[in-house]
Structure 1
Amino acid sequence: MKHALAWATTLALSLPQILSAEGQNVTQDQQDVLAAVEHMTQSFMDNNIPEVMDSYEPKATVLFEPAVPITENTMLKEMFAGMAALNPVFEYPSGHDVVVNGDIAIHISPWTMAGKTQDGQAVAQNGLSIAVLRRQEDGSWKMVIDNPHGARLLATK
């Protein structure tokens, strides 16, 4: 937990620089979208499943495995709880890309995750997160589609 807090603090302080590293100005909408993603990630690492679920619209779709979309709320909670049992630590080592068009946004970022099973076996995963968010009536952003396996492409014939 101590390391997760240090990581989250470091990430929060460095994100404006990461987003603007290529000379781009970071808009308030981009900052808000990124904050929504960070909040979900931190809630997940804290095993706070109600907060994780609040980061999504009620009929959101999440792909815990490539090409296996899940929309049913109870199943989403169970999947998040199962993954949170690994005590995961997530990092976004290459920064974030956020594109906003009106009330729709896309967040793209490579990620890594390290955790441990209950019997102490190390688990490591990585991928490309692609998340679509929608601005809510109260101005907050919630995820509509969350695909942490965005690097997996569909095969063409």
Structure 2
Amino acid sequence: MPVDADLAEHVARWVELFNARDLAGLAELYEADSVVVTRPGYLVTGEDQSAALAHLVGMGVPMKSVLRQAYTANDIALLVIDWSMEGTGPDGREVGLSGTATDVVRRSADGRWRYVIDNPSGVVT
């Protein structure tokens, strides 16, 4: 199934901003009342969401991702994204993280996709 080019571009932009450590740019890709699932069963919003993203960016390891599937219904989409972070962090420790995210995005009035739910762990329990 072909993946929507706009959604693939959205995911690529998120990774680009993450790898540039641009937290302000990342914040613009989320709706104001969005949630991030930091681990299965734990949702964060607002300041805690910003802190969670800052923690990941602070690992200093680049992220790679591939949008595997996208399902849209009007202005809402479910994204299935394979991602990985591998390398040496600023503290000299090796980082090796990966997963399959299940994210929900919504197209806003300006035509841009924004995260409503960012769930990097996908269906892991």
TM-score (norm 1): 0.73
Deviation at 1:25, TM superposition (A): 4.8
Pair 1:74-2:47 in alignment: yes
Percent identity between the two aligned chains: 26
Alignment partners' CA distance in 1, 2:11 and 2:65: 11
Residue 113 of structure 1: aligned partner: 85
**Which among 39, 44, 50 is matched to residue 65 of structure 1?**
39
Please say which structure displays the higher CA radius of gyration: 1
Higher helix share: 1
- SS class of match (1:74): helix
- Asked which structure has the greater RCO (Cα within 8 Å, sep 6+), the reply is 2
**Alignment partners' CA distance in 1, 2:49 and 2:88:** 21
Q: Report the Cα distance in structure 2 between the residues aligned to 1:64 and 1:116, rounded to whole angstroms.
A: 22
Aligned to 1:84: 57
Q: Secondary structure at the match of 1:80?
A: helix
Counting strand residues as a fraction of each chain, which structure ranks higher? 2
Matches within 5 A, 1:6-45: 24-26=1-3, 30-45=4-19
Specify whether residues 121 and 25 from structure 1 end up closer, same or farther in structure 2 by C-alpha distance, changes over 3 A only.
Answer: closer
Check conservation: 1:90, 1:114, Cα contact below 8 A: yes
Using the size of structure 2 for normalisation, the TM-score is 0.90
Q: How many residues align?
A: 125
**Where do 5+ consecutive residues of structure 2 fail to align?**
none
Aligned to 1:147: 119
RMSD across aligned C-alpha pairs, in angstroms? 1.6
